[in-house]
C-alpha cells in the first residue's frame, strides 16, 4: 500500500496540464538559447577581443553565460515537472549548482574549472538574474504562450 502512495506522489509532480503549443514554445526558446551559446563558443568571440576586454572575457564571460544557459535548459522539462515552474526555483537551483562547482574548485576538485575565484559567485548571480529578467520581462511580455501560470 505504501508503494502505491509513493507512486501517487510522483504522479502529482509530473504534470500533463500544459497545452502542447506552450511546451513547443518553451522547447524552441530553450534549444535556441543553447544554440546561441554554442555559436558563441564555436565562433570564438573572445578571439576578437584584446586588452582588458579579453581579460574580462576570459575571467568572467563563461561564469555569466553558463548559468544563463542552464536556466533555459530547465524550460525543456518545467512543463512536465511542476516543482520547476517557479522562476525562483530555477534560479536557486542553477545558482546553487554553479556555486557548488566553484566550492569544489576551492577543495581541489575540478569539474567545470580549475581556479577558485570568489568573484565567480557574483558572476553566477549576474547570469541567473539576466536569465530571470529575460524570462519574466522579455519572454513573458512578447510571447503570448510563454507563461505556465494559470490565471484565476
Query: Which tens digits make up the pLDDT trace of 51-88?
Result: 888 888 878 888 999 999 999 999 998 888 889 999 99
Q: Count the domains in the chain.
A: 1
Residue 14 lies in a domain: no
Would you list the DSSP string of 74-116? GGGTTTTBGGG-SHHHHHHHHHHHHHHHHHHHHTT--SS-S--
d(CA 60, CA 56): 6
Residues (pLDDT < 50) of the chain are: 1, 152
Domain assignment of residue 149, yes or no: no
Query: Residue 124 is part of which domain span?
Result: 20-142
Answer whether residue 38 is part of any domain.
yes
CB atoms within 10 A of CB 89: 15
Q: Do the domain assignments include residue 5? A: no
With respect to residue 10, please indicate whether it lies within any of the assigned structural domains.
no
Whether residue 24 is contained in a domain is answered as yes
Model pLDDT, residue 8? 54
Amino acid at each position: 500500500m505504501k508503494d502505491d502512495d509513493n507512486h501517487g506522489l510522483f504522479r502529482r509532480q509530473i504534470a500533463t496540464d500544459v497545452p502542447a503549443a506552450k511546451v513547443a514554445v518553451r522547447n524552441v526558446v530553450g534549444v535556441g538559447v543553447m544554440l546561441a551559446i554554442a555559436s558563441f563558443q564555436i565562433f570564438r568571440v573572445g578571439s576578437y577581443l584584446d586588452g582588458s576586454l579579453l581579460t574580462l572575457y576570459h575571467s568572467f564571460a563563461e561564469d555569466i553565460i553558463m548559468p544563463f544557459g542552464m536556466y533555459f535548459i530547465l524550460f525543456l522539462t518545467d512543463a512536465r515537472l511542476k516543482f520547476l515552474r517557479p522562476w525562483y526555483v530555477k534560479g536557486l537551483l542553477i545558482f546553487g549548482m554553479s556555486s557548488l562547482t566553484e566550492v569544489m574548485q576551492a577543495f581541489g576538485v575540478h569539474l567545470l574549472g580549475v581556479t577558485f575565484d570568489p568573484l565567480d559567485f557574483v558572476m553566477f548571480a549576474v547570469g541567473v538574474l539576466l536569465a530571470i529578467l529575460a524570462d519574466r520581462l522579455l519572454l513573458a511580455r512578447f510571447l503570448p504562450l510563454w507563461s505556465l501560470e494559470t490565471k484565476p
